[in-house]
């Protein structure tokens, strides 16, 4: 079945049109032009600010002129992840989608429902002629996934709205009123190259499910970089292990699914026996959550140079010591991860090393506690450490007028109470709120699973529920 034949048709029509446009983070030129043209073709005031955010304004419908102005907000970019056996170019190709029962998914890549369904909903409201709504400012931000530079670059005074509806969460029974901030922690070093002295070997870790490094960090999923580090650690005590290359993990905000290391060892048979024994233990550890985990340990052939056993040991020990996963649960909000770290990317090539992390927390002090602990580990290993891309969290306002309106609508329309929550993902509300402190903000969205991984999928009945909920909210915005 064609996606445009499922309900609500207008939502899936716009999502399909959006997904035909390449839109990886930091390379959003095509999708910026797409949304700009969309607004102009509707004869609505459309602007693009200096960083690339698109703002489309639409007047209130008849009888809604006395309501507060609403900012609808979603981000244009998407995480670009694919399975290793899939040939796909995110910069030139549109996402190839299919229907699987009650789910829409992509063929071997991320789907882009995060945050494409939010964008599609905004497009649908903007082009509608029969949806009651107050004056609207539709804010389409760029680069949310790899730096939030769109939200950071949004200047004070650009928006005039009183209420912001962020359409970027992934559980349809939740109303989100707070989120975590984040900071990138990057360790790097350059090492002298030597000719390897031993048997060349390769370890690869594949088949992990990955996932969102904020929303999924507490679920016990395997991190390919950490598993690889554990296997390499077995060679430190009795072997002259010399690293040649590491290609592990990917984007900072995705839990790593795959990792590969090439290295030399003095006694390959002994190392292999130890590593296979550890492999068995790891497979048993993750048997219930990582059913497709595959670890291979094999002899290999390479003419590349490596780095010394001493330098190799420093890298492996740092990987072993670097914190990964939940750092602290919130003492104030039940079941909320307060602080965490994702060891996201490890790259060693021609003696040049980078280890990239994304640390998150809803509390600034513990965000820096995580980052500084990582910095300490990496500096003890002789690496240089840089902090970058810091952004604030979003402090909850549980009693705000818009939250009360949404709770009432949800209970009336769906027969149960929504969960009013804060999340461990990074939403743009905290950044935008720093320039618009008086603006009421709330986030909600349809159910999406496997975000930031090729398993990403969007629930069709949930999208119908989300679309109905959004329309009812717009009809019931409070008066000025």
Number of domains comprising the chain = 2
Same domain, 399 and 363: no
pLDDT band at 332; cut points 50, 70, 90? confident
Say what the pLDDT of residue 473 is: 98
Integer Cα distance of 83 and 160 in angstroms: 43
Same domain, 266 and 379: yes
Sequence-separated (6 or more) residues with CB below 8 Å from residue 310:
none
Instruction: Residue 289: give its domain's CATH number.
Output: 3.30.70.360
pTM of the model: 0.77
Same domain, 339 and 428: no
Average pLDDT, the chain: 95
Same domain, 345 and 440: no
pLDDT band at 237; cut points 50, 70, 90? confident
Per-residue pLDDT tens digits for 49-100 = 999 999 999 999 999 999 999 999 999 999 998 988 899 999 999 999 999 9
Integer Cα distance of 324 and 343 in angstroms: 6
Per-residue pLDDT tens digits for 376-427 = 999 999 999 999 989 888 888 778 899 999 999 999 999 999 999 988 988 8
Catalytic residue among 143, 144, 174, 242: 144
Interval 283-301 mean pLDDT: 97
Say what the pLDDT of residue 107 is: 94
In a domain, 7, yes or no: yes
Integer Cα distance of 122 and 167 in angstroms: 9
Same domain, 299 and 426: no
In a domain, 304, yes or no: yes
Per-residue pLDDT tens digits for 135-192 = 999 999 999 998 899 999 999 999 999 999 999 999 999 999 999 999 999 999 999 9
Say what the pLDDT of residue 85 is: 86
Pairing state of beta strands 352-361 and 337-349?
A: antiparallel
In a domain, 287, yes or no: yes
Q: What are the angstrom distances between the C-alpha of 161 and each of 100, 166, 405, 438, 480?
A: 39, 13, 17, 10, 11
Same domain, 398 and 365: no
Q: Which of 345, 376, 391 is the last residue of a domain?
A: 391
Instruction: Residue 174: give its domain's CATH number.
Output: 3.40.630.10
Q: Which of 391, 422, 442 is the last residue of a domain?
A: 391
Say what the pLDDT of residue 1 is: 61
In a domain, 480, yes or no: no
Interval 360-389 mean pLDDT: 96
Same domain, 164 and 60: yes
Q: What are the angstrom distances between the C-alpha of 12 and each of 129, 141, 316, 377?
A: 18, 21, 47, 47
Same domain, 133 and 195: no
Say what the pLDDT of residue 4 is: 84
Integer Cα distance of 91 and 80 in angstroms: 9
Same domain, 63 and 205: no
Token pair in block for residue 432: 């935008």
Residue 23 near residue 77, CB atoms below 8 Å = yes
Q: What are phi and psi of 204, to 5 degrees?
A: -130, 140
Residue 300 near residue 180, CB atoms below 8 Å = no
Same domain, 232 and 253: yes
Residue of higher predicted confidence among 426 and 249? 249
Question: With pLDDT > 90 as the criterion, what percentage of the chain qualifies?
Answer: 86
Token pair in block for residue 474: 């717009």
Clarify whether 144 is annotated catalytic. Answer: yes
Clarify whether 77 is annotated catalytic. Answer: yes
Same domain, 61 and 128: yes
Same domain, 73 and 36: yes
Catalytic residue among 77, 137, 171, 184: 77
Which of 81, 68, 87 has the alpha carbon at shortest distance from 210? 81
Q: Which of 342, 364, 391 is the last residue of a domain?
A: 391
Integer Cα distance of 349 and 295 in angstroms: 22
Q: Which domain holds residue 346?
A: 183-391
Over 80: is that where the pLDDT of 239 sits?
A: no
In a domain, 42, yes or no: yes
Residue 337 near residue 218, CB atoms below 8 Å = yes
Per-residue pLDDT tens digits for 432-465 = 998 998 999 999 999 999 998 899 999 999 999 9
pLDDT band at 238; cut points 50, 70, 90? confident
Q: What are the angstrom distances between the C-alpha of 343 and each of 4, 285, 375, 395?
A: 39, 19, 13, 26
Over 80: is that where the pLDDT of 199 sits?
A: yes
Integer Cα distance of 101 and 54 in angstroms: 35
């Amino acid at each position: 079945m064609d996606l445009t034949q499922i309900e609500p048709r207008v939502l899936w029509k716009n999502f399909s049109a959006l997904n035909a446009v390449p839109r990886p983070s930091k390379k959003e030129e095509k999708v910026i032009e797409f949304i700009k043209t969309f607004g102009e073709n509707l004869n609505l005031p459309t602007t693009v600010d200096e960083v690339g955010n698109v703002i489309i304004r639409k007047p209130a419908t008849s009888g809604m002129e006395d309501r507060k102005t609403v900012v609808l907000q979603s981000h244009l970019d998407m995480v670009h992840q694919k399975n290793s056996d899939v040939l796909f170019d995110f910069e030139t190709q549109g996402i190839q989608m299919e229907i699987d029962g009650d789910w829409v998914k992509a063929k071997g890549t991320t789907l882009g429902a995060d945050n494409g369904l939010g964008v599609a909903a905004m497009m649908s409201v903007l082009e509608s002629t029969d949806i009651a709504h107050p004056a609207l400012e539709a804010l389409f931000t760029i680069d949310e996934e790899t730096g939030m530079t769109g939200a950071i670059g949004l200047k004070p005074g650009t928006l005039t709205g009183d209420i912001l509806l962020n359409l970027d969460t992934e559980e349809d029974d939740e109303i989100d009123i707070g989120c975590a901030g984040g900071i990138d922690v990057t360790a790097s070093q350059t090492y002298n190259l030597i000719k390897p002295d031993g048997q060349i070997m390769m370890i690869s870790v594949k088949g992990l499910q990955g996932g969102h490094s904020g929303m999924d960090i507490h679920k016990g999923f395997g991190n390919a970089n950490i598993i690889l580090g554990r296997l390499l650690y077995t060679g430190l005590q009795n072997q002259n292990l010399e690293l040649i290359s590491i290609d592990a993990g990917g984007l900072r905000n995705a839990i790593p699914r795959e990792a590969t290391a090439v290295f030399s060892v003095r006694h390959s048979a002994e190392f292999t026996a130890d590593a296979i024994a550890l492999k068995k233990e790891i497979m048993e550890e993750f048997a219930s959550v990582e059913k497709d985990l595959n670890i291979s340990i094999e002899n290999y052939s390479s003419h590349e140079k490596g780095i010394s056993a001493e330098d190799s040991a420093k890298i492996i020990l740092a990987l072993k010591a670097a914190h990964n996963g939940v750092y602290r649960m919130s003492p104030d909000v039940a079941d909320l991860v307060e602080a965490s770290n994702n060891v996201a990317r490890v790259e060693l090539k021609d003696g040049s090393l980078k280890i990239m992390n994304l640390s998150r927390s809803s509390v600034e002090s513990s965000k820096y506690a995580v980052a500084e602990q990582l910095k300490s580990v990496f500096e003890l290993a002789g690496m240089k450490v840089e902090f970058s891309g810091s952004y604030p969290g979003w402090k909850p306002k549980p009693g705000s007028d818009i939250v009360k309106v949404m709770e009432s609508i949800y209970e009336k329309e769906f027969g149960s109470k929504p969960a009013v929550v804060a999340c461990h993902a990074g939403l743009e509300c905290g950044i935008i709120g720093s320039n618009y402190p008086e603006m009421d903000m709330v986030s909600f969205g349809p159910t999406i699973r496997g975000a930031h991984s090729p398993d990403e999928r969007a629930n069709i009945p949930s999208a119908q529920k989300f679309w109905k909920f959004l329309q009812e909210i717009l009809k019931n915005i409070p008066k000025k």
